[in-house]
Each structure stands twice: as C-alpha cells, then as structure tokens.
Amino acid sequence: MECGEPVEQVVLRPGMTVGELVAAMGRAGAYNGGALAKATDIYEAMLRDRQVTRFLGLAGAMVPAGMGRIVSDLIDGGFVDVLVSTGANLTHDIIEALGCRHYHGTVSCSDVDLREAEINRIYDVFLPNESFIRFEEFMQERFDALSSRGPLPVREFLSELGLALPSGILASAARRSVPVFCPAVADSMIGLQHWLFTQAHRPALDALSDMNDLLSLCFDARSAGVLIVGGGVPKNYILQGMLMTPRGFDYAVQLTGDRPDLGGLSGATLDEARSWGKITATARAVTVYGDATITLPLLVAAVRERIGV
Amino acid sequence: MECGEPVEQVVLRPGMTVGELVAAMGRAGAYNGGALAKATDIYEAMLRDRQVTRFLGLAGAMVPAGMGRIVSDLIDGGFVDVLVSTGANLTHDIIEALGCRHYHGTVSCSDVDLREAEINRIYDVFLPNESFIRFEEFMQERFDALSSRGPLPVREFLSELGLALPSGILASAARRSVPVFCPAVADSMIGLQHWLFTQAHRPALDALSDMNDLLSLCFDARSAGVLIVGGGVPKNYILQGMLMTPRGFDYAVQLTGDRPDLGGLSGATLDEARSWGKITATARAVTVYGDATITLPLLVAAVRERIGV
Amino acid sequence: MECGEPVEQVVLRPGMTVGELVAAMGRAGAYNGGALAKATDIYEAMLRDRQVTRFLGLAGAMVPAGMGRIVSDLIDGGFVDVLVSTGANLTHDIIEALGCRHYHGTVSCSDVDLREAEINRIYDVFLPNESFIRFEEFMQERFDALSSRGPLPVREFLSELGLALPSGILASAARRSVPVFCPAVADSMIGLQHWLFTQAHRPALDALSDMNDLLSLCFDARSAGVLIVGGGVPKNYILQGMLMTPRGFDYAVQLTGDRPDLGGLSGATLDEARSWGKITATARAVTVYGDATITLPLLVAAVRERIGV
Amino acid sequence: MECGEPVEQVVLRPGMTVGELVAAMGRAGAYNGGALAKATDIYEAMLRDRQVTRFLGLAGAMVPAGMGRIVSDLIDGGFVDVLVSTGANLTHDIIEALGCRHYHGTVSCSDVDLREAEINRIYDVFLPNESFIRFEEFMQERFDALSSRGPLPVREFLSELGLALPSGILASAARRSVPVFCPAVADSMIGLQHWLFTQAHRPALDALSDMNDLLSLCFDARSAGVLIVGGGVPKNYILQGMLMTPRGFDYAVQLTGDRPDLGGLSGATLDEARSWGKITATARAVTVYGDATITLPLLVAAVRERIGV
C-alpha cells in the first residue's frame, strides 16, 4: 500500500475561473470534490479523443432546472454523438422550445393550493398547466402531420420534432443529425400524447425498432465513452447496448445523487459495471455523487475551458 | 399549531410479531419509523377497501435481493390488480423461475476478477453469466413460438411468459390474470433478447399499445390505490396514467431510498404529486425513505398480519 | 471469485415474529436488509460472549423518536457495559423522566407559527417549551445539591441525575452502575444549564476527567464489542478510546443514515476503522445504512428473541 | 399561489469565473444548484454587513480533504469572528501546520493491508501513522509548556497552539485574535493527548469555562450570521448559544450532506431552527445539500469574487 500525491489545500482567488477551481479541487483530491476533478480529466480526454463515440445519458428533471441548455450546447459543439434521454426531459425541452417557461417556486407551500392554481410542482420549480395545453397542440399537430409515414421509430420522430422547433435539445440534435433515443417514451407526456392521438388514429410511433440503431452505434464504435447524468433508464440503456458488443466503454463519467448500497442501478458504481463487461477492465471511470444542478455545470464549464470552446 | 398524541417510547418484547413491532413504531410516530407505521395503516385500508383498484410499481433490483416472492405472494393473495415493473425485475424473475439462482456476494472484491470469473455483480449479489444463457434460450424459444401471432402487446407477451413458467411474479400474475406492464421493456434484457430475435425475424412485440389498457384501468377505477417500490419508470407510468383521468389516487404508499431535494421523480414527495392531480387533495399518502429490502418486508408482513392472510 | 449461498426469496407469513422476519432477510442476504440480518448475528454473538465489554454509542435525536426505552431496556437486561451518548439524548431522557412528553407533529407546518405557539420541532416531533422550564428547575436543583462535592466528573454527575429520576436511560444506568459518558456535554441543554448555574456559582462539572475512566474500561476489556447508533461524537469517542490500547473492537455494528463518500466519520465504513486499528483485522463488523427508528427496533427485537429475554 | 421568475437555462462559457457560474445557477434557481446561489447571496450580505458577528461551524473531515485553507483564508480576510470546530479538524490542521501531509488514496484497497502499512484511511485520503507521532511530540511539549498556567480554557489553549504554529486555521485565528471553540475537545486526538499528559501531570485544560465566552459573544452580537459546514457539534453549539439570547441568527447558510427525514440535527432544515428561535422568523437562511468539498469552494470563491478580496 502506498500513498499518492499530497493533498494540497485549496486556495481560492477572487475571479478565478471554473477550470481553475476544479483544478484546485483535483489537487486536493478528496471525496466528491476530488471525484469531480477526476471526472473533468476523463471527460476532457473523451472529448479530445477523435476515435471515441460519445454517448450522453440524461435522466432526472434536468430541463426544468435549467440544465437543458448545457446539453444542447454540448450537442451544438459537436461533443455528443448519441443522446439517450428520459421522455420527461424531452417533454420539458419541447415546452421551453414552444416558448413556455418553468418558474422559480418553493417547497414551502400547499400542493393542494397549487393544484387549484393549476400549477404543477417539481421540487422548487413551478410549471403552469397551460404549458401542457400548448404542448398538446404541438404534439397532436405533429402526430397528424407525420402519421402518414406510418409508425415512425421514436428516434426518427424525435428528429422530426427537433426540426419543427426553434431551439433546445431536440432542435440542436436534429440540426446536427445527432440521434436521440428515448427507450421509455411511453413513460412520459410524449407517450400520453401518442396514446391520445391513437384514440382516433393509427399509431404514429414504433418504440422498439430503435434498438437496432443503438446497437449498430455500439457495434460500430472504435472506442466509446459515456457521460451519465442521473442514472435511470438512459444509464442502463446505454450500458446494456455496449454489453452486447465484444467491448465496453473506455471512458465513463457518472453524476448521480443516489447511493450504491440500495442495489439500484442508478446509484451503482461504475466498478460494478466492469463485472458485467459494460465498461472495460481498464476504462477510465468515475462517479460523482451529488446534485447534478451543481456537478453538471461545474464539469462542463471546466472541460469547455480546457478545450477552449 | 397543536401537538398530536404523545410519542410513546418503543417497548420491545422477545418473540413479538412484526405487526406488534410496527404498531409500536406507530405509537412512537417519528421519522421514517413513524412513516412506515402510517404506510401500514394506509396499505391495510387500501387492501381492505373492495372498491379500490390496487396498483403496484416495482423498480430497483428487488428480485435479485429476494424481494420477488413478496410480490408474487401479494399477487397470489389477490392484493394486486395491476403491476407495473422495470424490465430488469422481470428478467431476474424469469431467471429464478427457470431454476437459476442469484447468490450472496460481496462489495469487497475486484470487479475485474469477477468479470474473468463470468460473474455479474449487483451490489453484494452475484449472478453467474450462465443464467443469461439459459434466459436467452427460453426467451428465443418463446419469441419463436409466439411470433406467429404478430407483434404482441408487451402485456400480453408477459402473460404468455408467465404461463410458461412454473413460479414467480410473471407466473402468479398470469395465473390470476393480473396485467403486468413494462413500459420500458426496451431497457432490459427482455428488450435485448427481442432485438436479437429481430435480427432474423419480424418483431414479436408492440411496446406502445399497452397504454390503452393501462389507461382503461385508470379510467375504470372507482377508487385507486398504489404501492410504489423504488420510484423509477413504474412510479411515473402509474401516476401519469391517473393524471389523464378526472380523479387521482386515493391511497398512495411510496418506499424509496432517494431524496426529494434533487428534483427527480423517484425521490419526490407524494405531496408534490397532489399539485399535479396525480393523487387527490384528500388522499391518504406517505413516503418511507429507506432501503426497500428492509421497508418492503416490514410493511407487507405487518399488513398481512392485520388482514390475517 | 466465488459465489456464496443462493439468495432465498423472502417468504412472509401473517403473524411471523420479528426474529423470523430478520432471519428471512438474512437468507435473502442483499443490500441493507442483508446487512441488518448480519448485524443481528454479530450483535447476538457479542451479547452472548461473556468476555466482551459491550459499548453502546447513541447519537441522533433518538429519545424524542421513542427509541430511548429500547436503550434503557438493554441496560436493564444487562446488555450494556458502557454507554456513550450525545447530551441531547440525555436531555430528552430527563425531560421524559420528569413526566414531560414529546408529541406527534408534522413537517407540513409553519415554523414561525410553531415559534409563536412555543413549540419546538424535531422533524415531525413537537416538544413544547414548557418541558424546558421543568428541565431547568430539575437541573438547577441538582447542580445546587451536588455542587458542594466540587466539580464532579460528568459521568458521576449523570449517575447522580439517574438516581434522582424514576425511569429512563440515566435511571437504568445509575441503578445498574453502568457508566454513562457524555464527552460533548457542553454541546447540549445540560451544558447550557451548567453555564446558567455558573453565573452565580462555582462550576459543578469537570468535563475531561472522565477520559481516564473510559480509557481504563478500554484497557481492561478482554474483548470488546460496540453497537453504534447514529455516528457523531459517541462513535468517534468510543473508537478512539480503543485506538489507544494494543487491541481493537472484536465486534462492531453500526446503524447510520449517513453515507461514506462524504468523508465524515458518521458515514464511514467499519472497514475504514480497521486501517486505524480501531477494530481488529478479524473483527466481525457490519454497517446498516438507514433510519435508526426502523433499524434499531428491528435489530434489538430480533436479538432479544434469539436470546430469549 | 404564484410563480416566481422564469427558470433561465444555464449558459456556460469557456473561461467563465466561478462567480459567473454561480450567478447562472441562481438564474436557473432549482434544487441544490439554486440553493447554492441563494447561499452565495446570503453569505455575501452577511459578510458585507458590518454589524454582523460572523460565526463559522466546521465539522466533517474537511482539513484532510484540503478545505482547511479556505477557512484560514476566510479568517485572514477578516470574515470570521467566531470559529467553532470539531477536534478532528483542528488535529489535522495541526498535523498539516507541522509539515506532515495527507495523501491521495483510494477506497479500493484492503484496510487490513493499510493497517500493516501504518496508513490510516479517511475515505479516499491516506494519512501515515508517523504524523501522529509528530503530533504527539508537539502536543506534549505544548501541554508541558502551558501547564504552569493552570487548567486553561480550551479556547485559550487553542490560541496558544496557534501562536506556536506557522500556518493553518489555528495560526490564522490566533494571529487575528479570532476565538476558536472546540466544545467536544475530549472527542479528538487533542483530547487523547491531554489524557496522556494527565497520566503524569495535572490537567492542563478546562473544557467548560469557554461557554461563558461563547455566550457573551452571542449576547453582545447586534446582529448575527452563521455559516455551517457539515452539521455535528459545531452546528448545535452555535445555534444553542444564540438560543439563550433574546434574539436569533439573522443570516444562516448550511452546507450538509445529511438529510432531514432522519431527525438528526446535522440534516435538519434551518426552518426547523426557527421553531426553536435559534434563527429569527425573518432570517435569510438556506441549506445546500451535498458534499462540502464541492459546495464550500464554490460558495466561498463566488462570494470572494463579489466582494473582491
């Protein structure tokens, strides 16, 4: 057993950049601050390596919390090759792209009063019901317009949505031809809108045919890296895809608020993923435990500072 | 502001029953111990009320942890009208039903060594790779046998699987005609097996048509109750179903290891769900924070003691 | 790498005892449910082994939550040789012994309104201010009565308090001559009362001389075991005591709601304690993560069932 | 019920400062990212307000993680009027000031091997035993030098230690006459060293007389603010001090990794503290849940950027 480098006490400086702060956290090197700095190293390496297919998994209510633009900017910057998202994040992305907004709220309130005021609560974020009316109009109109092409793979449908939207994750992905997968689309407002549409029309979506595309991307990757925000379905879907191939991920960064001892995949360590072969024995991998509304901006700002774009 | 009943100090007695213990925790009434006792009251009321359609959401790696039988016994006892599960729990249910086993393991080990030994780790549970070989044989054989019926709704397919298995959650559900929904089926080994099947055959599954059935169950319920184990897709899928109806859940019990302040749905309070109308303004609802390998057996053993079956 | 015993699915039975439930959780053997069953094995062995000096560390607001009687009953049963507690638990123990009560409350309330109603909140437990008036009378009277004996070691003072009280942890400990240590006595209402007393009198307490006694107990122990409830000062104080001796704890069970990755001692694994020599290389040790209002009653009820008293 | 400001999606820019990042997190305003931004506003106001007595509570293994310098720099900058710390942080501060170092380590190791290598582990930080030998020499020499002055209040003794050290928290505090309180000094290596000293000498420390000083500081404060890092004894000791006065804290920021539903004080919300009168009804207060190795550097760097020093 040997000691590594000495822990350097963090020295702060007024006006220091995020990259400088994270570098200081890396020289300290302890707990989740140290893990975040290591994540920055790995994510930087993964973005710089031209051979790597870069996956991004997005779970948790990130768009309502203002984290969506970080993702769309990563896409615009060419740093995402494959996006796998929960349906909820895409729903809220569409809502924002349609010009509706999420609002600062509070947890110290009566949810029954909120119900009467037609405001939906996501922890301390408020979202008025009227957003969903606008969302419904848009979605029904899109299903109507696209249904003639027969049941579309979800990925293709999401790309069409993106092309019809002025901004946001789906818009950026569509413009840059970055595939967006939503394996649990049924479990979202998008799925509910599709159900509504099918009350009077034939199905417009095909939820399973996407797997072929995802698996092809996994098989075709010369090397692969993944940034996992929040666990959930996207984490598992991305990792299981690679599981089918002869190789695993070479780079993996996970930002999660869960904990490993409960056994659930969202909190599971990436070491555990090595036993399955989802990531390689020698992969550079790290988990940062904490709220992604803090760790994601820190990580991405620091990496973008290093890369310079 | 007024105080409620006095906190009664918990008195333990050698040989006391689980129901007696939970009753004592209820008289103490504090923190998650108090919440668990309250959950027992609510779940008992929900099971005794003949008007209630009882939903069960199952997420987290519960079957590998030995919690599957609690669910299948609840189904056999007639206490579940609708089950919504992650694909993973169903995968592991099938594996156990096929006679393969999960094993006691440890977290203090090298995952690279485990990989070489062809053992997959789920926290401190080990699962040999060979289980997946047996699983694959079974699944491919079933897809083959059923594909002539055209793409089957997932729910129907899962029912067929259950009929072909001797025991477990799917078997119990199939025998009692309890519908099992798996809205994120693509995100599981079942989904991967289907993908494998489709490399040489036409699709055997239709992932979206189930929503109609779930929504019908929601609309038809005179009253509704839900036991949510572990959040995830099942929690949201069940709650969003009721969201479309004019009413919400009247009873709701949630067992989760997450925390609300991260904004994710898995850790969100049930009060938050009132703002959306997913549960009614007057619904009896409680969240118990903790590991479901402790809280689920406690809850169900206590309720079954009260109900007497 | 090898697998251990197969995971046995938990079978519940109406009217089963707590010991039977924990045994079933042990045969399942996963996550914190498995850890709790292992803790029961270790705690049973520790209580049965006549050579062992049994330490108990008590932190967290356990008495307000109704967990105090579990501790006093363990003391009455002869299962505790040394108790180390936070001052807060002893304060609330005195309050209950004086006939004041804690009350069922709620988190969904205005703390400003509570303030006006002179009710103090501990999560969902309410405690009226008047309890502290009764507490003050008792404490000042005791300081007055005992101050003639010069500054008393805290341990001795707590024993005198126990003799003056009809029931509770301090009363049980005093009657059975179980030493009670409170290393952070200043950090509690007891400390504040002492400060108040010293405004007009000479100090009645000596906070540091207790260490000699604790260290003697550590040095004299032929073998040592510890049950740690909640981390904090008691955990560290007990472990650091043994650190000074040539040996460490042979048995250790820890119930905590914290997590290891934050670096704090309360959430630290017991394996970490091996590196320090606080517990022996071969010690039987386990941590159960979760709310002690659930895990403590479960653990103690199961062990008492096995031991039969 | 009304909505607040719209959530603004976070826009990152390469080279942005920490203050700019936190401002962006504030405009997003959600979950712990939003709380951190709010904490920055409150901490800035508290530091700018010349009337405020600024308390700092320090718990958790912060110095081993490289966070000590942030504290000593705050003291040097004149931003701390009263420090309350665990004994452990002061122990590690002394160790660093003596020229010994903490080292980058790993959790993936055998603690038994570490024990044999005489390396102590604090999560992923390693500390060789030899540091404690150096620490012992220093402490015994200090006790020896100071014991002629009779039992010193801990605060006074810590000030003497600081004067004898070249750098670190104690050194900065001593040089600027900032009082350092360590209410649980017995529960630390400092306490153990004192015990060792008393094996051959009369006591050199008086642990309780400090309360007078702390209470005077509380009573004399025209207005009071507190930054709580990590809960534990420092949090309670600071809050209970103010509890005795007619007023409470006007500003309060808490960085903690705990959770409120376990009932323990470390995870308790600051709203709960309002019911006790520890903070005023109108106090500006916020809790940021997360690892302080991330949240503390972010908070302080952002505030120092705003204040310009």
Q: Does C259 touch chain A (CB under 8 A)?
A: yes
Q: Strand B52-58 to strand B223-229: parallel, antiparallel, or no bridges (unpaired)?
A: parallel
Using CA atoms, how far residue D252 sits from A106, C101, D41, in Å, is 18, 30, 11
Q: What is the mean pLDDT of chain C?
A: 97
Is residue D95 helix, strand or coil?
helix
Separation of alpha carbons C55 and B230, rounded Å = 35
Residues of A in contact with D101 (CB under 8 A): 6-7
Query: Residue D28's pLDDT band (boundaries 50, 70, 90)?
Result: very high
| φ, ψ dihedrals at A268, nearest 5° | -65, 145
Separation of alpha carbons A190 and A204, rounded Å = 12
Residues of D in contact with A112 (CB under 8 A): none
Tens digit of each residue's pLDDT (9 = 90 or more) over D184-198: 999 999 999 999 999
Separation of alpha carbons A289 and D257, rounded Å = 10
**pLDDT given for residue B1 in this prediction:** 77
Mean pLDDT (whole number) for C225-232: 96
Please check whether residue C305 is in contact with residue C19, taking contact to mean a CB–CB distance below 8 angstroms: yes
Mean pLDDT (whole number) for B160-181: 98
CB pairs under 8 A between B and D: 19
Report A:14-33 residues touching D (Cβ under 8 A). 14-19, 21, 24-25, 27-33
Mean pLDDT (whole number) for C155-183: 98
Mean pLDDT (whole number) for B79-103: 98
**pLDDT given for residue C51 in this prediction:** 95
Residues of C in contact with A289 (CB under 8 A): 259, 261
- Name, in order, each residue with C-beta under 8 angstroms of B108's C-beta and a sequence gap of 6 or more: C271
ipTM summary value: 0.97
Best CA proximity match to D106, nearest among D97, D119, D118 = D119
Residues of B in contact with A124 (CB under 8 A): 263
Residues of A in contact with B210 (CB under 8 A): 186
Q: D288-298 burial, b if ≥16 CB within 10 A, otherwise e?
A: bbbbbbbbbbb
| Rg of chain A over all Cα atoms, to the nearest angstrom | 20
- Name, in order, each residue with C-beta under 8 angstroms of B16's C-beta and a sequence gap of 6 or more: B24, C17, C18, C301, C305
Separation of alpha carbons C162 and D38, rounded Å = 46
Mean pLDDT (whole number) for C61-88: 98
Please check whether residue D22 is in contact with residue D37, taking contact to mean a CB–CB distance below 8 angstroms: yes
Separation of alpha carbons D286 and D276, rounded Å = 16
Cβ pair A259:C31 closer than 8 A: no
Tens digit of each residue's pLDDT (9 = 90 or more) over A36-52: 999 999 999 999 999 99
Disruptive mutation site among C291, C305, C306 for chain B (greatest number of B CBs within 10 Å): C291
Please give the domain boundaries of chain A with CATH numbers for all domains.
51-292 (3.40.910.10)
Share of chain C above pLDDT 70, in %: 100
Report B:275-294 residues touching A (Cβ under 8 A). 275-277, 281, 291-293
Cβ pair A30:C263 closer than 8 A: yes
Give the chain D residue nearest A101 (alpha carbons).
D6
Q: For tokens 């049941």, what's the residue?
A: A151
For A273, half-sphere exposure in the C-beta direction (CA atoms, 13 angstrom radius) is: 36
Tens digit of each residue's pLDDT (9 = 90 or more) over B228-244: 999 999 999 999 999 99
Best CA proximity match to D204, nearest among D135, D157, D159 = D157
Tens digit of each residue's pLDDT (9 = 90 or more) over B21-78: 999 999 999 999 999 999 999 999 999 999 999 999 999 999 999 999 999 999 999 9
Q: What is the mean pLDDT of chain D?
A: 97
Tens digit of each residue's pLDDT (9 = 90 or more) over D240-276: 999 999 999 999 999 999 999 999 999 999 999 999 9
Tens digit of each residue's pLDDT (9 = 90 or more) over D199-246: 999 999 999 999 999 999 999 999 999 999 999 999 999 999 999 999
Structure tokens at C303: 């062990």
Separation of alpha carbons D294 and D302, rounded Å = 12
Separation of alpha carbons B43 and B52, rounded Å = 11
Chain center to CA of C87: 11
Give the chain C residue nearest A269 (alpha carbons).
C261
**pLDDT given for residue A139 in this prediction:** 98
Please check whether residue C301 is in contact with residue B12, taking contact to mean a CB–CB distance below 8 angstroms: yes
**pLDDT given for residue B165 in this prediction:** 98
Tens digit of each residue's pLDDT (9 = 90 or more) over A1-38: 799 999 999 999 999 999 999 999 999 999 999 999 99
End-to-end CA, chain D: 40
**pLDDT given for residue D150 in this prediction:** 87
Q: Point out the residue among C31, C261, C263 whose CB comes nearest to the CB of A262.
A: C31
- Name, in order, each residue with C-beta under 8 angstroms of B46's C-beta and a sequence gap of 6 or more: B52, B54, B225, B227, B251, B253
What are the start-end ranges of the H helices in chain D?
18-28, 31-48, 68-76, 87-97, 111-116, 130-146, 154-163, 169-175, 189-198, 210-220, 232-243, 270-276, 292-307
Q: D87-110 burial, b if ≥16 CB within 10 A, otherwise e?
A: bbbbbbbbbbbbebbbbbbeeebe
Residue C221 pLDDT > 80, yes or no?
yes
Share of chain B above pLDDT 70, in %: 100
Query: Residue C150's pLDDT band (boundaries 50, 70, 90)?
Result: confident
Separation of alpha carbons C278 and B271, rounded Å = 44
**pLDDT given for residue A150 in this prediction:** 87
Residues of C identified as active-site: 278
Mean pLDDT (whole number) for B152-178: 98
Render C265-303 in DSSP notation, one character per residue: GGG--HHHHHHHTSEEEEEEEEEEES-HHHHHHHHHHHH
Tens digit of each residue's pLDDT (9 = 90 or more) over A157-212: 999 999 999 999 999 999 999 999 999 999 999 999 999 999 999 999 999 999 99
Mean pLDDT (whole number) for A255-264: 96
Structure tokens at B81: 């009208």
Tens digit of each residue's pLDDT (9 = 90 or more) over A132-165: 999 999 999 999 999 999 899 999 999 999 999 9
Distance from CA of C69 to the nearest CA of B (A): 6
A38 has catalytic annotation:
no
SS3 content of chain C, % helix, strand, coil (to 5): 50, 20, 30
Separation of alpha carbons B174 and B169, rounded Å = 9
Tens digit of each residue's pLDDT (9 = 90 or more) over A69-95: 999 999 999 999 999 999 999 999 999
| pTM as predicted | 0.98
Mean pLDDT (whole number) for C278-292: 97
Query: Residue D126's pLDDT band (boundaries 50, 70, 90)?
Result: very high
Give the chain B residue nearest C18 (alpha carbons).
B18
Q: Does C139 touch chain D (CB under 8 A)?
A: no
Residue A108 pLDDT > 80, yes or no?
yes
Query: Residue D37's pLDDT band (boundaries 50, 70, 90)?
Result: very high
**pLDDT given for residue C1 in this prediction:** 77
